[in-house]
Structures are given as structure tokens and as C-alpha cells.
Amino acid sequence: MNGESGGGYREAWRRSISSPEDFWLTAAAGIDWITPPTMALDPNGPATGSWFPGGRLNTSYNALDRHVLAGRGAYTALIYDSAMTGTRIKLSYLELLGRVARFAGVLRANGVGIGDRVIIYLPMIPEAVIAMLACARIGAVHSVVFGGFAATELAVRIDDARPSVIVTASGGLEPGRTVQYLPLVAKAIALSQGSVHTVIVRDRESVPGSAADYRGRNETDAVWLDWADEEATAAPADPVALRSEDPLYVLYTSGTTGQPKGIIRDNGGHAVALNWSMRNIYDVGPGDVYWAASDVGWVVGHSYIVYAPLLAGATTVIYEGKPIGTPDAGAFWRVVDDYQVKVLFTAPTAIRAIRRVDPDLLELKNHDVSSLTSLFLAGERLDPETFHWANNGLHCPVVDHWWQTETGWAICANLLGIEELPTKPGSATVPVPGFDIVILDSTGKPIEKIGKDGNIAIRLPLPPGTLRGVWGSEERFASSYLSVFPGYYATGDSGHFDSDGYLFVMGRTDDVINVAGHRLSTGSLEEVLTLHPAVAECAVLGVHDALKGQRAAGFVTLKVGTSIDHSTLTAELVALVREHIGPVAAFRDVTILDRLPKTRSGKILRKTIRQIVDGEEYSVPPTIEDPTVLDDLKRALSASV
């Protein structure tokens, strides 16, 4: 362990809170600056924290060039393993640098400069990493959109970010089907308000469609270019000097409304925090192989497939495939064995999927996973049963850590690079240095009682690497996160500390749900269901799902005089959700009710509905308009089993 030395975890956390200047300036020395910062926290910056004022750097240089200049150009930077096509590619730091510099040249030749937005809509192929780092190289702000979102969701993001260029591919590969991206991109551009002038397409042999198919067609005015042609003739671009606070990327995430929020990440704070996290949380450094089995479209992919491993000079794995079925439940162990993976990071749902298919871990016997020193899990609550199963089966620490798109890295973890603390199943262990966590009641008063659940809040300022704002809306930033509990960042999660200072995150306090580690807004699902001509009213809730943690369940009432049978309505609503949000919503459950359970003031009793669906104990709320509606709900649920 070479992380924060001396005094162990508690001392490191104490120093980060009592002497943040000293703590973070020391961490900043792990990054190569063009102009080194002389102070950590900007005294004139926003209350949330603005880090390393005066510092100038380039994130792509730190992820690539500096390792090559230090003589590590031949080290493997990226391993691409596609379980879908059988392709395996390794790129050294020198090779990856060459491709990133050339693609940065392609973007620049197409008019992209500092501060311009580029939407990246790519599957799990090396070009996703290349495109992101190419943007960072020339100071463009990338916004990656997950491939499981539909054209309308892509269009919403185009209209908010207003990119001039979209970088995409002919498509992605899901078990049993290809997902053609180009019709979706063309439709999204046609639906949007016309900022996109160029589309660059990576042609994949395995998925039909190319830039040539879209040239001269009139549904978009954009110019469609072929990635390979452009890269072959491009002049490489050098990294530009950026201010620490300049935006590196915008990543959209679900909020409580249908309109996703564009989380803004800076350059300086992000590079320092992620580089620090690799050694201190994951205990990973140059030459180690680190694998985040997620997708570049999510924050885990941004931070731990792309930026952190490369900033740290480690090897990152891009895996195109699933934990099961591609071809079997040994897929993860095969990749660990093939590339000597040291740390694996995934979502609990992936582990539950493996457990369901291979409960006795028979597949593990076919592979040597002795290189694995830890399994990190995040994205949703790690249920104790799954924890025990993985912990017993793998014989390496299984670490639950808690974080959010907004924070960009772990808020709570067991920091293996500093000091491995005893694990408590159900807890994400302790606050990471820099995060000062407080449990507040609904009035914003700290709850002193140990073990009592409340709103989890983080005292401002937030540490480096966390969100700088919401794209295009100071007001939304303030109202979503800052004005709920003045002086604190409101996480939207509830939970409690135990007497040893371990945090237990119990669930969201808002309408955000987590389906297979994918964050969705029930509000946006409700907006889609009400588009159906037969639906009068609806409520969408996150109910318990044994595999995916949660799944979205829809409860609808029909317009007077409408007659439609349950299976037709379900099929039509499922199709609507796929069309408007995308397959990732995995929406399948529809219950038709005569009335929704409501309070006398007309508020839908979501918690009570969820408790009834999940078979939990519940008490009939005294404000309920008509208690017999709950009996109707139970009857409808038992009829649909």
C-alpha cells in the first residue's frame, strides 16, 4: 500500500477536512500541470467548491503523453475484448496516444475548438475512449450518451448541449440482436433544433450502416463522414492548455423530472481526485490491470473505464459483452484470467446475474483468478446476501462503495490503498477523504441519534472531482442540490451512520430509481405512459426485483368509455417506453386500476403502493381519500400474478 501514509484512514480523513489546502495541493502534485496551482480551493469560487484556481493543464496529456514521455509508451493502455465478436485488441500508451492525437485533429479540422460540445454515441469499442480523450485534448466538452437510449432521449440531450458534431458508429451488439445507431442518430438530429453540422461514423463490420448511406439524404442537413477515412488523413493535434475549472465533459443523468440534468465536470479537480482515488481507494498504479465492467455511457465508465486508470498509468479493459450468456456465467472470470486483472469493478446486479445462473460458482474453477485482489461494487445497494456469496466465493475483499453521477467518484468506500477496514455487509463503509457527511432530518437539522435514518447530505464545499454545476442552468443546480439544505449538498439518498462511523445507504428520497444499476426517472416514464390515448392517470414506481434490484412498475387508470384489454395495453405501453426512452428502461409491468390510491388532497400514495407490491408491512395513511382503493389494488395485483 502506497496511499496516504501515516495514521491510517481516520487520520487521512481528518486531514482532508481540517487542512484541505494542504491535503489537496499534495494530491495535485500527482498531476502534470502546465501552470501548477498555488492554492487548492478558490476563495472566490462558488460555495460548492472550485478547485486549483490559476492551474492550467490538459487531461488527455495527463492520461497519455506524460506516461509516454516517462518511458512507459510500450505499456498496455487499453485492452479491448469483445465477447460479442471475439475481437481482442491491445493498444500501448504510444499507440493510443497516436490515435487520440489524430482523432483530435479530425475534430479540429471539422471546426471543433475549446468549449464546443461533441456528443459521443458509441458502443463499447476503443473508439469511445479515443473520442473522449480527443475532445479533452483540444478542450472540447464531450457528452457521451448511452447506446440503450432511444432517439428522443438523444434529441433531448442534443437540444440541451447543442453539439456541433456527433461521433457515432454503425451500431452496437446486444445478445441476439444488433442495435443500428445510424437511424436513431438521423431521427434524433431531425427531431432536434439544428446545432449538429457533422456526424462522424465508425463503421463496424458486424453492424450494417455507414456514413455513405446518409450522405445527401434530406432528413438532416449534417455532413456524414467516415471515421477511418478521416483518421487516415488527419494531422495530429497537440494538447491545449486549459484552466482547471474549464469543463471536461457534461454527462446527463435522470432527475425527478423528464428533463435529464447535464452534470458538468471540470478538468483540474477531476484529474487530481481520480488520480488520487486509484492509489488510495483501489490500490492500483502503473502496470496494474483495472477493469470496470460498466459502459462508457455511465459515470462509472467515464471515471473508471476511461480517465482514472489512464491518469494512473494503469491498463484499462473495455469489455463488450454481458456477465452471463456471452457465452456463459464464466465470462467475467475468463477476462480476469486472460488479462491478469487486479481490480474488478461492476454493479451488484451483474453479480446477482452470475449467481442466478451459476450458484455454486462452478465456472470459476475453469479459470485462474488469483490476480484479482478486490471486487468493487457500486451503482445500487449491495444486498448482504449477494455480498456474502461473492465474498465467500472469490476469496478477495468485496467492497461496496457508494457514489453518484454528480460526485464522479466514491463518497463512501473501504479505502484499500490506505487501510483495509473490517467490512459490514449492507454498509458502503466510511466517508472518503474530502466528503464530510451529515444525516439531516426533513427540516435540515442534524440527526444525532446513531442508527436513525435521515437525509444524507454533504457539507460544502465538496471535494475536487465532483460536479461544477448543471449545464445551462444555475437555477436547476441550486434548486436540485443546494437550496434543499442550505450549506449542504443534498444527495437524494437516505441512510444512517452506525456507532463505528459506517454509513448505510438505504435508498432514494426522490423519484429516481435504479434498474440494473441504470438510473431512471419515474417522472419521465410517467410522461411517456400518459402519451397513450387510453391512459387517464398513471404512477410509475420502483419495485423490488430479485435480479435488477429494482424495476419500474406502472399503475394506470383508463379514460372513461375506453375499452382495451390488459395485454394489448401492456404491449403498447412497453413499445411506447422503448420508443421514447429506450430498451434500457426494461419496462414490462402494467397494472390497470379503477382509481389510484390518493390522499384527500390528491397526492398519489406511492410509498404505500410500493409497500403493497413488495409485500412489506404498511399502515394505511390517515390522509387517504378512500381506503378501499387499497383492496382494489391488492386484487388487481393478485389477478396479474
Interface residue list for ligand COA (CB under 6 A): 147-148, 172, 174, 179, 294-295, 298, 300, 322-324, 347, 349-350, 353, 379, 516-517, 583-584, 586
Q: Which amino acid is at 379?
A: G
Look at the block and give the residue holding cell 449534417: 222
Pick the binder of ligand AMP from 55, 379, 554, 582 (CB under 6 A).
379
Residues 182 and 175: their CA atoms lie apart, in Å, by 19
Contact between 375 and ligand AMP per CB under 6 A: no
The one of ligand AMP, ligand COA, none whose footprint includes residue 296, by CB under 5 to 8 A per kind, is: none
The one of ligand COA, ligand AMP, none whose footprint includes residue 101, by CB under 5 to 8 A per kind, is: none
Residues 268 and 625: their CA atoms lie apart, in Å, by 54
Q: Which residue, 210 or 253, has its beta carbon nearer to ligand AMP?
A: 253
The one of ligand AMP, ligand COA, none whose footprint includes residue 344, by CB under 5 to 8 A per kind, is: none
Q: Which residue, 280 or 455, has its beta carbon nearer to ligand AMP?
A: 455
Q: Which amino acid is at 35?
A: T
- CB of 440 closer than 8 Å to CB of 455: yes
Pick the binder of ligand AMP from 380, 511, 526, 589 (CB under 6 A).
380
Task: Tell me the window of 194-202, 211-219, 311-319, 402-410 that interacts with ligand AMP (CB under 6 A).
Answer: 402-410
Q: Which residue, 344 or 378, has its beta carbon nearer to ligand AMP?
A: 378
Report which secondary-structure segment, H or E, holds 178: strand 177-180
Closest CA to 419 of 4, 8, 41: 8
Residues 629 and 607: their CA atoms lie apart, in Å, by 14
The one of ligand COA, ligand AMP, none whose footprint includes residue 105, by CB under 5 to 8 A per kind, is: none
Q: Which amino acid is at 1?
A: M
- Lookup: cell for 230: 478521416
Look at the block and give the residue holding cell 471536461: 248
Task: Tell me the window of 18-26, 141-149, 394-402, 551-559 that interacts with ligand AMP (CB under 6 A).
Answer: 394-402
Helices (H), ranges, 402-520 = 474-477
The one of ligand COA, ligand AMP, none whose footprint includes residue 519, by CB under 5 to 8 A per kind, is: ligand AMP
Count of residues in contact with ligand AMP, rule CB under 6 A = 20
Pick the binder of ligand AMP from 246, 493, 526, 545 (CB under 6 A).
493
Report which secondary-structure segment, H or E, holds 598: none
Q: Which residue, 102 or 519, has its beta carbon nearer to ligand COA?
A: 519
Pick the binder of ligand AMP from 351, 505, 553, 590 (CB under 6 A).
505
Pick the binder of ligand AMP from 143, 253, 316, 374 (CB under 6 A).
253
CB of 520 to ligand COA, least distance (A): 10
Contact between 261 and ligand AMP per CB under 6 A: no
In 40-147, DSSP assigns E strands to: 56-57, 76-82, 88-92, 117-121, 141-144
Residues 224 and 205: their CA atoms lie apart, in Å, by 18
- Lookup: cell for 62: 495527463
The one of ligand AMP, ligand COA, none whose footprint includes residue 349, by CB under 5 to 8 A per kind, is: ligand COA
- Lookup: cell for 406: 454528480
Contact between 519 and ligand AMP per CB under 6 A: yes
Contacts of 248 (CB under 8 A, 6+ apart): 59, 136, 141, 142, 265, 266, 267, 270
Hey, CA dihedral for 503, 265, 96, 182, is it positive or negative? positive
The string of DSSP letters for 381-397 reads ---HHHHHHHHHHH-S-
Contact between 401 and ligand AMP per CB under 6 A: yes
Pick the binder of ligand AMP from 198, 315, 404, 608 (CB under 6 A).
404
List the interface residues with ligand AMP, window 291-320 (CB under 6 A): 299
Q: Which residue, 172 or 239, has its beta carbon nearer to ligand COA?
A: 172
Q: Which residue, 220 or 349, has its beta carbon nearer to ligand COA?
A: 349
Q: Which residue, 33 or 402, has its beta carbon nearer to ligand AMP?
A: 402
Q: Nearest-5° angle of CA 600, CA 605, CA 610?
A: 160
Residues 402 and 404: their CA atoms lie apart, in Å, by 7
CB of 291 to ligand AMP, least distance (A): 18
- CB of 116 closer than 8 Å to CB of 164: yes
Exposed, middle or buried by CB within 10 Å (0-12, 13-18, 19+), for 178? middle
Pick the binder of ligand AMP from 237, 242, 378, 430 (CB under 6 A).
378
Binding site for ligand AMP (CB under 6 A): 253, 299, 378-382, 400-405, 428, 492-493, 505, 508, 514, 519
